[in-house]
């Protein structure tokens, strides 16, 4: 391409025409940096990576188009108006004109987020696909203490909590929860909504600390987007199961919760007056918290009740067709959902005081279980004879019912992950439970380390399906044919296994024979070596071929182009690192086993 | 009293209201008169009050009932009358005293009048006088006799009341304080009022009797306007109503909470992003593994030693998360980094440029080119078969006789040896005197002539192999008349002089610069020598039969390194440091210039087919040129970490090899197809090891056996090795 002379300050071409650095963008938009950041967060504008960084590598580059979209964004205007209002309010306050200040404060324009959400997520599926961060953030804020110094307002926390509960209620009601994992960081949940796997993290229900090295303003900006996003998503989801949104809750419970919340906040703000006071207030606040949780769980259950009620409504109405459609819709549920729905079908739970109630109240109904708890508003009491499992996390027990199992809460989570009711022996109170494994690990990967307990669970699952687990080393072709399985039954399979073993032995022998032959031949002729190569894939031959191949590997490397060679080296290094990690774990396991035996 | 008067006009307006809060009424004059202490301070007040009351009493006398305000006045006067009574008592007391000035305090009245009358003058004036002053009658008052200090002290000690005694200098006497006086002093020290019975906050006594008053404060009848709706207000209301109707007054609309609505309809499939920029959704966060569990398997928990060893690691290598085990869910603490991690995620979401990175989820083995199995490409040299020992220094060069029975080697110890290949027997040995840089066997099977370059000389040696007839031929060929020497290049300075070498029974070609390489033509008559520093005469071609030396009729660009003849045609290759030039000797012109792209080429070898050649370089790279294809290398093989010393093709087998200073020799399969469309196939076959490094040099030369797939290597460790298949 011919480069023409371009007068200075005229048109640009290439990267310089496509990208601007941040300070240029600020100048163009005529806004402050914090506002720019906020806009970027709300609009989802991220820096780009130009091929050539024409202003230096330390700069952040934005696409010109992104910036021009921001330029035409009504949000900018609204924020300018907000700033004007703030100035007016300040002036009114300075002149002691509180009435005017209050009026102005009320009339401050508010940015509308719905349009932006629609723009960012044109389809509902898009929104669901990016809901992970949103849910995690909302759940985190729902657990935060409202502090004035950190600008976390009570309403904000309250709204987050409401939204989180609404979401959980939907997931639980529609049995969309798939996996749970109790980690040190909190409890991970994975749900499948409209084909999208959504994973989120809820912190443990303990007091969270807002550290100072966190810029809360940024997080609040994100929350400003996430709150409406989740409410719109909830609306759509509730709409999809013919429910009114927002759900109308039992006003008594709601009022109770709100009151208690305000009270607890008041208490927390007044702590530190004196030792006695603070102690007293601590006790009080603890008490309040538990009460509050109860109230919340009450909320949740009431929601559920409401949901069920409304669910039944359409059948009485003339539009029975709609109901029919819905019924079929329910029947359409995929296998997973059905499985999840029926996991705890015949199980009745009772939660003791010390177990994480909020989480279990969410998980157990999601898998079809019936649950009650100790405290006000519980559907049934501890003395109910039909309770099959009582979830307990403390050894000291008052009265023990013989008709039920006393298990640790981990049992519920492990059952959910294994999709079967595990034997409760290991999980009984007072015993150290077996390790809690992550359900997100894929063992199919080659060379992955499988913990012992994962193996036992796999065996149990197989036993539940009345199968004999395939012996390692046998091809899976028989397994894949389900009819074969059914016809032959267990005995047939065992026979097949034996046959396979015999076959394998034969192959080993054959291979050995070939090897011998080869050794003989080596001295004389060099012709027939190639034909035997194909049979080298048999397992026993592997070790021998490996040794021979290793220098060959190096040889292959010589022939590669530099780019590919570097790539290969990088891959090898990363593989080696992974392998080292696995080896380390295996080594530790070996040591532990040795110490135990 | 003034305050009361001020309230008067208000009174008639708010008739129904309570008259006045009594607190507002100031009461300066009211104080309990029984405390005699108060009297002194209140004196001024009293006088003014008394004045006031006097005037008021006069006023009262003048008009006993004085209209509307009379009530209040009466009230005021009443209080003042009370005070008058009090004052009267006070004044009565005072009047009983003799004409004492008003400023004199009460306390002085109780005491005896001071006997000294000097007044308020400095006592210093009377210091030296025998008297302290004068009494009331004008007589001098004598000073008391001064007591001895010791005596006074003793007296003090004896006297139990000495602590309450004060010496009055003015009257020259000792005063003993009474109990009350001491109390007073104490109270003063405490900043309290001197008298204990003084109350600084007395209850207010409202002297006005509010109940049972005969008349209201205002006797005026209720005005009419109180009962009529205000016209002005009606007007204002009409104004507002009109303004509202007109729309000039607008009300704040009740705030509507914009709740969520159905944002995504069902037909949302068609909509797409408005801006046409590539949108990359944020990557999801990594899902937790077993190690993040609250109760991980025991093998996931690092031991204390391992945790300690993390401290030694670099900051970025350190694991971010250390697994921990809790025996029950109840004992899980809250995660302290929850906020921080969430915040970091936020930062990642809006500050990180998003780039779609292609993640190769493939087996690294699949990246390797598909090469035919090495076993199919046999035979090739694999193992060391024979070692030839005998040289006392690094073996710099070797050469195999055309039949493959003999091998010659030159070493830097100045000897040339001939070995029998199959037995390893050293057949002959010549002492050349200088370090041998190159040996080369005549390619003709009958001509057992060895060309040896040592220093500036090239020796042509008769090895003495073959039968009588051949020996005669060779001797004849190597015979030179000493007179004919060095007359071939008449006009120019002789670049080479052909000399007879009697010691070794051969010829000696004396060059003007150090010769590094000798290469025979395939017909055995011509050979070329290379002198890198020879500039325009760096490459010379000699004819043995005519004892002639020719300069290459071309200009060389760069330093010549090696030269070689084409295996079948009259083409000559000269390898300089950067590139290879191909000359046609018959037409005397440059055919081709091959650009190696190497830093410093070190060796060159031509494929027996003649269209392919390899160039080895000092940076360990080997370039394969397909001269039909291009002047750029067809393939560059980077296999050696150190200098390549020699590269070589096998004459019959599709093999080539390279040897390097890293003590390895690589053997490759290099198949050249007669089909022009098919590129040469290069397969690395074997790495030959066995030599050891000495002085940083490894294998200095390598040569293939002319018939068998065997490779000879000459090492700097004084050894020659033969690798067989």
pLDDT digits (tens, 9 = 90+) for A464-482: 877 555 444 434 444 444 4
CA-nearest of A270, A292, A291, A290 to A280 is A270
Q: State the average pLDDT over residues B537-541.
A: 86
Q: How confident is the model at residue A508 (pLDDT cuts 50, 70, 90)?
A: confident
Q: Does the CB of A228 have a partner CB in chain B at under 8 Å? A: yes
Question: What are the residues facing A193 on neighbouring strands?
Answer: A196
Q: For residue B641, with 0-12 CB atoms within 10 Å meaning exposed, 13-18 middle and 19 or more buried, which class applies?
A: exposed
Lowest mean pLDDT among A527-541, B347-361, B462-476, B605-619: A527-541
The least confident of A239-253, A315-329, A371-385, B121-135 is A315-329
Q: What proportion of chain A, given as a percentage, has pLDDT over 90? A: 24
**What letter does residue A183 receive in the DSSP assignment?**
B
In this predicted model, which residue has the larger pLDDT, B481 or B67?
B481
Give me the CATH number covering residue B686. Answer: 2.130.10.10
pLDDT in tens, B674-695: 887 888 888 888 888 888 888 8
* Of A123, A130, A452, Cβ closest to residue B271: A123
Band of residue A227 on the pLDDT scale cut at 50, 70, 90: very high
Same-domain check for residues B139 and B80: no
Is A585's Cβ below 8 Å from some Cβ in B? yes
Q: Is the per-residue pLDDT at B97 higher than 80?
A: no
The minimal CB distance from B375 to the residues A136, A182, A529 is found for A529
Q: Residue window 196-255, chain B: list those with CB within 8 Å of chain A.
A: 252, 255
Q: Which two tokens stand for residue A352?
A: 């003791």
Sign of torsion, CA A280 A286 A289 A294? negative
Separation CA B198–CA B38 (nearest Å): 8
Asked if B70 and B137 sit in the same domain, the reply is: no
Banded model confidence at residue B32, pLDDT cuts 50, 70, 90: very low
- Nearest-by-Cβ selection for A560 from B261, B335, B369: B369
Is B102 part of any domain? no
Residue ranges of A 365-394 with Cβ closer than 8 A to chain B: 393-394
The reply to whether A530 touches chain B by the CB within 8 Å rule is yes
Cα A262 to chain centroid distance, Å, stands at: 31
Q: What is the DSSP code string of B669-696?
A: EEE--SSTTSPPEEEEEEEE-----BTT
Task: Check if the beta carbon of residue B116 is closer than 8 Å to that of residue B170.
Answer: yes
The side-by-side arrangement of strands in the sheet containing A196-202 is A177-182, A187-193, A196-202
- B643 and B497 inside one domain: yes
Is B195 domain-assigned?
A: yes
Same domain, B389 and B536: yes
B315 within some domain: no
Q: Contact A46/B351, CB-based, under 8 Å?
A: yes
If one compares A236 and A533, the residue with the highest pLDDT of the two is A236
Residues B91 and B127 in one domain: no
Is the residue at B274 inside a domain?
no
b/e per residue A306-337 (b: at least 16 CB within 10 A): bbeebbeebeeeeeeeebeeeeeeeeeeeeeb
First to last CA, chain A: 76
* Pairing label, strands B612-617, B601-606: antiparallel
In this complex, is the C-beta atom of B689 within 8 Å of any C-beta atom belonging to chain A?
Answer: no
Q: Are residues B135 and B62 in the same domain?
A: no
C-alpha to C-alpha distance for A147 and A142, rounded to whole angstroms:
13
Asked which of A331-345, B276-290, B594-608 is least confident by mean pLDDT, the reply is A331-345
When the pLDDT of each residue in chain B is averaged and rounded to a whole number, the result is 78
Closest by alpha carbon to B657, among B704, B590, B598?
B704
Tell me: do B519 and B634 sit in the same domain. yes
Asked if A336 reaches chain B (Cβ–Cβ under 8 Å), the answer is no
Tell me which residue range forms the domain holding B551: 374-724
Residue B488 lies in a domain: yes
Mean pLDDT for the stretch of residues B410-431:
87
Residues B87 and B119 in one domain: no
Which of these ranges, A85-94, A97-106, A134-143, B401-410, has the smallest mean pLDDT?
Answer: B401-410
Instruction: Tell whether B317 is covered by a domain.
Output: no
* Residue at a domain's end among B203, B220, B251: B203
Q: Quick one: B174 and B79 in the same domain?
A: no
Tokens 């055309």 sit on residue: B402
Q: How far apart are CA A505 and CA A508, in angstroms?
A: 5
pLDDT at A356 over 60: yes
Closest chain B residue to the Cα of A51, Cα to Cα: B355
User: Which residue, B479, B527, B472, is CA-closest to B507?
Assistant: B479
Q: Which of B152, B180, B203 is the last residue of a domain?
A: B203
**Is the pLDDT assigned to residue B94 strictly greater than 60?**
no
Share of chain B above pLDDT 90, in %: 10
> Which range among A547-561, B50-64, B243-257, B490-504 shows the weakest confidence by mean pLDDT?
B50-64
The DSSP code for B535 is G
The number of folded domains in chain B is 3
* Pairwise pLDDT comparison (B13 vs B654), residue with the higher score: B654
**Tokens matching residue A187:** 């409890």
**Mean pLDDT lowest for which of A445-449, A549-553, B534-538, B707-711?**
A549-553
| Cis peptide bond prior to A246, omega within 30° of 0 | yes
Query: Could you tell me which residues are beta bridge partners of residue A196?
Result: A193
Q: B426 Cβ partners below 8 Å, 6+ apart?
A: B388, B390, B417, B418, B419
- Is B513 part of a structural domain of the chain? yes
- The pair of three-digit structure tokens given for residue A114, joined into one six-digit string: 């719905």
List, in sequence order, every beta strand (DSSP E) within A345-398.
348-351, 370-373, 389-391
CB contacts, 8 Å: A560 with chain B: 367-369
ipTM reported for the complex, 2 dp: 0.76
Same domain, B70 and B131: no
Instruction: Calculate mean pLDDT across residues B379-390.
Output: 86
CA distance A584 to chain B (A): 9
pLDDT digits (tens, 9 = 90+) for A315-333: 333 333 333 334 434 444 5
Per-residue pLDDT reduced to its tens digit, B241-260: 999 999 998 887 777 777 88
Q: Calculate ∠ Cα B497-B498-B503, nearest 5°.
A: 120
DSSP SS3 for A149: coil
Decide: A219 and B343 in contact? Cβ < 8 Å.
yes
- Closest approach of chain B CAs to the CA of A560, in angstroms? 7
3-state percent breakdown (helix, strand, coil) of chain B, nearest 5: 25, 25, 50
User: A182: pLDDT confidence band, cut at 50, 70 and 90?
Assistant: very high
CA A262 – CA A250 distance, rounded (Å): 18
> pLDDT tens across A195-224, in order?
889 999 999 988 788 888 889 999 999 999
Phi and psi (nearest 5°) for A280? -60, -45
Q: Is residue B613 part of a domain?
A: yes
Give the pLDDT confidence score for residue A266 in this predicted structure.
38
Rounded Cα distance, A213 and A439, in Å: 33
Confidence at residue A554, expressed as pLDDT on a 0 to 100 scale: 66
CB-CB under 8 Å, B353 with A436: no
Closest residue in A to B253 (Cα) is A107
Residue with tokens 């066997």: B441
Note the pTM of the prediction, 2 decimals. Answer: 0.61
In this model, does residue B575 exceed pLDDT 70? yes
B376 contacts A529? CB cut-off 8 A: yes
Minimal C-alpha gap between A553 and chain B (Å):
8
Do B455 and B416 belong together in one domain?
Answer: yes
Considering chain A, what is the average pLDDT of its residues?
75
* Residues B591 and B492 both lie in one domain: yes
Chain B residues lying within 8 Å of A129, measured CB to CB: 281
Flag whether pLDDT at B436 surpasses 60.
Answer: yes
Rounded to the nearest angstrom, the minimum Cα separation between A217 and chain B is 10
In angstroms, what separates the C-alpha of B328 from chain A's closest C-alpha? 7
- Please say whether the beta carbons of B608 and B585 come within 8 A: no
Give the E-state strand segments of B53-201 in sequence order. 131-134, 140-142, 165-168, 173-176
pLDDT reported for residue B121: 86
């Amino acid at each position: 391409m011919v480069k023409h002379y371009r007068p200075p300050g005229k048109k640009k071409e290439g990267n310089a025409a496509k990208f601007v650095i941040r300070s240029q963008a600020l100048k163009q938009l005529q806004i402050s940096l914090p506002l720019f950041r906020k806009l970027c967060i709300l609009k989802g504008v991220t820096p780009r990576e130009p091929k050539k960084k024409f202003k230096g590598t330390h700069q952040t580059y934005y696409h010109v188009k992104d910036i021009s979209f921001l330029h035409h964004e009504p949000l900018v205007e609204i924020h300018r108006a907000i700033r004007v209002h703030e100035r007016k309010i300040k002036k009114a306050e300075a002149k002691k004109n509180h009435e005017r200040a209050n009026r102005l404060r009320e009339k401050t324009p508010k940015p509308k987020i719905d349009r932006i959400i629609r723009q960012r997520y044109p389809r509902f599926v898009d929104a669901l696909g990016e809901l992970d961060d949103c849910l995690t953030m909302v759940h985190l804020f729902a657990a935060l203490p409202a502090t004035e110094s950190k600008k976390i307002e009570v309403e904000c926390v309250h709204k987050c909590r409401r939204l989180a509960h609404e979401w959980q209620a939907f997931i639980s009601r529609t049995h969309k929860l798939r996996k749970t994992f109790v980690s040190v960081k909190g409890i991970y949940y994975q749900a499948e909504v409209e084909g999208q796997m959504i994973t989120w993290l809820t912190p443990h229900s303990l007091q969270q600390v807002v550290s100072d090295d966190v810029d809360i303003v940024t997080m609040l900006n994100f929350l400003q987007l996430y709150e409406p996003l989740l409410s719109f998503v909830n609306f759509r989801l509730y709409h999809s199961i013919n429910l009114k949104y927002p759900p109308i809750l039992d006003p008594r419970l709601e009022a109770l919760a709100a009151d208690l919340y305000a009270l607890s906040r008041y208490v927390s703000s007044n702590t530190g007056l004196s030792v006695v006071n603070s102690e007293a207030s601590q006790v009080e606040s603890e008490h309040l918290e538990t009460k509050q949780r109860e109230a919340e769980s009450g909320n949740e259950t009431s929601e559920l009740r409401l949901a069920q009620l409304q669910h039944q409504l359409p059948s009485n109405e003339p539009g029975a067709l709609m109901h029919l459609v819905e019924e079929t819709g329910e029947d359409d549920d995929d296998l997973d959902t059905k499985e999840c729905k029926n996991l705890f079908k015949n199980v009745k739970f009772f939660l003791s005081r010390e177990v994480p109630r909020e989480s279990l109240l969410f998980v157990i109904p999601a898998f079809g279980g019936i649950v009650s708890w100790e405290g006000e508003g519980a559907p049934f009491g501890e003395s109910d004879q039909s309770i099959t499992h009582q979830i307990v996390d403390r050894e000291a027990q008052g009265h023990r019912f013989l008709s039920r199992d006393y298990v640790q809460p981990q049992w519920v989570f492990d059952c959910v992950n294994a999709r079967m009711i595990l034997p409760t022996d290991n999980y009984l109170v007072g015993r150290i439970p077996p390790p809690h494994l992550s359900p997100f690990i894929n063992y199919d990967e080659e060379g992955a380390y499988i913990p012992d307990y994962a193996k036992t669970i796999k065996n149990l699952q197989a036993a539940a399906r009345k199968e004999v687990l395939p012996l390692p080393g046998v091809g899976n072709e028989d397994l894949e044919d389900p009819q074969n399985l059914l016809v032959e039954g267990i005995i047939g399979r065992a026979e097949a296994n034996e046959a396979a073993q015999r076959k394998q032995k034969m192959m080993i022998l054959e291979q050995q024979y070939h090897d011998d032959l080869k050794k003989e031949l080596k001295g004389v002729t060099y012709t027939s070596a190639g034909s035997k190569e194909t049979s080298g894939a048999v397992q026993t031959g592997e070790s021998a071929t490996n040794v021979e191949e290793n220098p060959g590997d190096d040889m292959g490397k010589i022939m590669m182009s530099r780019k590919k060679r570097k790539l290969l080296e990088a891959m090898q290094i990363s593989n080696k690192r992974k392998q080292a990690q696995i080896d380390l774990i295996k080594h530790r396991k070996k040591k532990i086993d040795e110490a135990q035996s | 009293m003034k305050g009361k008067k001020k309230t008067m006009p208000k009174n008639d307006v708010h008739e129904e209201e309570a008259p006045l809060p009594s607190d507002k009424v100031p009461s300066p004059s009211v104080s309990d008169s029984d405390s005699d202490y108060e009297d002194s301070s209140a004196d001024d007040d009293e006088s003014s009050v008394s004045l006031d009351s006097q005037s008021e009493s006069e006023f009262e006398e003048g008009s006993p009932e004085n209209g509307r305000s009379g009530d209040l006045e009466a009230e005021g006067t009443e209080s003042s009358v009370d005070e008058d009574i009090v004052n009267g008592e006070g004044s009565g007391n005072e009047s009983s005293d003799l004409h004492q000035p008003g400023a004199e305090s009460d306390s002085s009245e109780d005491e005896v009048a001071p006997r000294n009358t000097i007044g308020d003058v400095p006592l210093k004036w009377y210091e030296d006088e025998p008297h302290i002053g004068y009494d009331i009658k004008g007589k001098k008052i004598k000073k008391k006799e001064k007591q001895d200090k010791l005596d006074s002290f003793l007296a003090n000690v004896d006297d139990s009341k000495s602590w309450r005694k004060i010496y009055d200098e003015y009257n020259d006497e000792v005063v003993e304080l009474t109990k009350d006086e001491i109390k007073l002093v104490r109270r003063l020290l405490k900043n309290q009022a001197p008298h204990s019975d003084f109350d600084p906050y007395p209850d207010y006594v409202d002297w006005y009797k509010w109940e049972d008053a005969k008349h209201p404060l205002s006797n005026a009848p209720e005005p009419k306007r109180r009962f009529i709706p205000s016209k002005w207000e009606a007007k204002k209301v009409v104004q507002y109503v009109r303004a509202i109707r007109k729309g000039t007054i607008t009300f704040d609309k009740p705030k509507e909470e914009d709740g969520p609505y159905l944002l995504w309809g069902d037909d949302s499939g068609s909509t797409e992003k408005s801006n046409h920029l590539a949108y990359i959704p944020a990557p999801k966060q990594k899902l937790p593994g077993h190690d993040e569990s609250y109760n991980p398997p025991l093998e996931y928990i690092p031991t204390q030693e391992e945790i300690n060893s993390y401290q030694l690691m670099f900051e970025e290598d350190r694991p971010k998360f250390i697994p921990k085990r809790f025996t029950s869910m109840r004992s899980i603490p809250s995660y302290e980094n929850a906020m921080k991690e969430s915040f970091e995620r936020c930062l990642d979401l809006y500050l990180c440029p998003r780039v779609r990175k292609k993640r190769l989820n493939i087996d690294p083995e699949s990246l390797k080119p598909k090469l035919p199995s090495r076993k199919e490409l046999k035979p090739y040299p694999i193992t060391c078969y024979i070692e030839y020992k005998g040289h006392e220094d690094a073996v710099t060069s070797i050469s195999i006789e055309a039949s493959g029975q003999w091998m010659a080697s030159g070493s830097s110890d100045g000897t040339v040896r001939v070995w029998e290949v199959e037995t390893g027997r050293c057949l002959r040995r010549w002492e050349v005197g200088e370090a041998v840089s190159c040996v080369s066997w005549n390619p003709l099977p009958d001509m057992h002539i060895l060309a040896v370059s040592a220093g500036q000389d090239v020796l042509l040696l008769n090895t003495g192999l073959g039968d009588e007839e051949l020996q005669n031929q060779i001797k004849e060929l190597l015979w030179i008349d000493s007179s004919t020497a060095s007359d071939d290049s008449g006009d120019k300075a002789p670049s080479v002089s052909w000399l007879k070498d009697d010691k070794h029974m051969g010829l000696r070609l004396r060059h003007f610069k150090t010769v590094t390489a000798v290469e025979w033509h395939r017909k055995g008559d011509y050979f070329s020598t290379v002198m890198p520093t020879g500039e325009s005469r760096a490459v010379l071609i000699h004819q043995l039969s005519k004892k002639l030396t020719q300069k290459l009729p071309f200009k060389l660009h760069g330093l010549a390194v090696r030269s070689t003849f084409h295996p079948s045609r009259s083409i000559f290759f000269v390898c300089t440091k950067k590139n290879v030039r191909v000359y046609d000797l018959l037409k005397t012109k440059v055919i081709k210039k091959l650009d190696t792209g190497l830093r410093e080429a070190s060796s060159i070898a031509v494929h027996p087919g003649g269209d392919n050649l390899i160039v080895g370089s000092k940076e360990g790279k080997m370039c394969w040129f397909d001269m039909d294809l291009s002047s750029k290398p067809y393939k560059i093989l980077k296999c050696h970490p150190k200098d390549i010393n020699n590269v070589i093709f096998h004459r019959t087998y599709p093999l080539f090899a390279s040897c390097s200073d890293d003590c390895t020799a690589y053997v490759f399969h290099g198949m050249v197809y007669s089909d022009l469309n098919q590129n040469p196939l290069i397969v690395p076959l074997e790495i030959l090891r066995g030599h050891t490094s000495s002085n940083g040099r490894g294998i200095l030369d390598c040569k293939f056996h002319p018939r068998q797939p065997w490779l000879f290597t000459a090492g700097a460790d004084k050894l020659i090795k033969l690798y067989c298949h």
